[in-house]
Amino acid sequence: MGIYEKVKELSRFGEIIAGGKKEKKILNVIKSQFEDKFDDIKLYYHDVLNWSSREAEIQCESKKVPDEYFAVLPYSPSVDIETSNYRIISLNSLSELSIKYARIAKLYDHDTVLLFTLNDDTIRKIVLKNRPLLHNSPQTPPYIPAFFINKNTLNYLKGKCRFYMKNTFMDSVGFSIEGISNGKKDEKVYVTAHHDHWFYGEHDDLVGVALLSELNHVRDSNYEIHAISFTAEESGCYFESFSWACGSKQYVKNNREKLENTKLVISLDNISSNNLYLFYTPLTTPLKYEDVKEIPYPSPYSDSYRFLEINAPTISFHSLDYKYYHSNFDVLNREESVLIEQKILSIIRDILEKYPRFSNTKIEFIKKELHNLPVELKSILTNTSITNRFAEKFIGLYKSILYPNGKIITSLFHTLKGIKESYYTEYMAIEDFKELENIDYSSNNYTYYIHKLYKEEIERYIKLISENY
């Protein structure tokens, strides 16, 4: 059975939400695909917040909008209201939705309904979240109901409309499954994907799940290979505004001792045959593959991101520009599945063969980073003996910055980068730190505020390095 057949076997259950009734069904299929491919199979459970949409309807002037023209956005509160107070919000990309919802929702009363659209035939899903964005702690739940609509819905939106949705939230349990192939050494390589998905979810991320069971074709006896399909990548967080990869977050938290000797984490997430990006922790050597765009920072979009805190280098595959990302048209065809299987497995095989040489670049990488740092940090690092072991610890300093267009990047000393760049942009969210809004670029008061933040963060990093590095 090739990955095309495996993907179709997985997608027949439809949408899978972490902690939902169907998750155990897809786990049984993944387990059957893992059998005879690994030396051991383990199951892990994670506490998740299960969200589900039970019923939904939009009706304007007695005309009902067909169900296939709209979707309830995950984590939206329930609503049953007849109103003309609805707002249509056009998007250039799905990545804008979270920022626009978080910034717009606070401007409206609870009797408002927000309707997001890309003005095409697709309907999409992504978790709603309130501010402050990019925080890993629980935030206030979204309180303005929101739908995603396609362009056909616009023809129905006239006068007063009835908006109805019945959504439920409940504590539940999600499950991750791990296949283990023994190696000659205790050194471990993790390869991850996730089985929860919106709509059919064949590119995001059932093709990644299917590839896990093909790793026996690239098995390297020098490493202990751990293949994991995670739960709660798309949803399941308890209203954190960093709302994804919660299953892997709990896995890392609960298995820190087991994760010792992890040499590399490879994530397979939202993969198509075109526009393939390879994000890599730049302590590793650039790999240079044909038709693959390489990005020299860890991917914030996938489960590998959660392994950074144990200082594990990561390599993540992601097709950022996939046309039907998180949409009702995310379906894989057989021809593309063959191309994906050949390309991804070939690259993974090459990575496993070359990886032992990567460690030679760690010291050089840290030295290159010095010129980007303020003089106080540069001074303390210049006078420190930089060894490979010292450099490895820097991996855990990678954190994310969210820009106004929805783009997220990760960076070492991310607060310094975010604070400095906030001079030149109207909005920025810095992971587990602050949201910065520079509405008046000429304001001296804002300059004083930013300068003080910057100096305090320099002092914090100096103390951190002195005590731990």
Segment 225-281, tens digit of pLDDT: 999 999 999 999 999 999 999 999 999 999 999 998 898 999 999 999 988 999 988
Of the two residues 361 and 436, the one the predictor is more confident about is: 436
Would you place residue 107 in the very low, low, confident or very high pLDDT band (cuts 50, 70, 90)? confident
Q: Is the pLDDT of residue 68 over 60?
A: yes
Percentage of the chain lying above the pLDDT 90 cut: 72
Would you place residue 184 in the very low, low, confident or very high pLDDT band (cuts 50, 70, 90)? confident
Segment 442-467, tens digit of pLDDT: 667 888 999 999 999 999 999 988 87
Q: Which pLDDT value is given to residue 7?
A: 98
Task: Say which residue the tokens 């390599």 belong to.
Answer: 315
The average pLDDT across 429-438 equals 94
Q: What does pLDDT average to over the chain? A: 91
Rounded Cα–Cα distance for residues 459 and 401 (Å): 20
Rounded Cα–Cα distance for residues 326 and 214 (Å): 25
Count of all residues that appear for the chain in the document: 469
CA distances for 285 relative to 18, 125, 268, 370, angstroms: 36, 36, 19, 18
Task: Say which residue the tokens 């991320």 belong to.
Answer: 205
CA 231, distance to chain mean position in Å, is: 12
Q: Is the pLDDT of residue 357 over 60?
A: no
Structure tokens at 103: 């910034």
Q: What is the CA radius of gyration of the chain?
A: 23
Q: Which pLDDT value is given to residue 384?
A: 67
Segment 122-176, tens digit of pLDDT: 999 999 999 999 999 999 999 999 999 999 999 999 999 999 999 999 999 999 9
Residue 342: which of 288, 279, 273 has the closest Cα? 273
Q: Where are the alpha helices (DSSP H) in 279-321?
A: none
Name residues whose C-beta falls within 8 Å of residue 412's C-beta, 6 or more positions apart in sequence.
Answer: 369, 394, 397, 398
Q: Is the pLDDT of residue 355 over 70?
A: no
What is the H or E stretch that residue 104 is in? Answer: helix 97-104
Q: Which pLDDT value is given to residue 387?
A: 66
Residue 93: which of 327, 439, 428, 435 has the closest Cα? 327
Rounded Cα–Cα distance for residues 87 and 114 (Å): 5
Amino acid letter at 91? L
Cα angle 53, 75, 414 (rounded to 5 degrees) comes to 150
Q: Which pLDDT value is given to residue 362?
A: 60
Q: Which pLDDT value is given to residue 375?
A: 86
Task: Specify whether the CB–CB gap between 49 and 20 falls below 8 A.
Answer: no
Domains of the chain: 3-50+171-354 (3.40.630.10), 53-169 (3.50.30.30), 362-468 (no CATH)
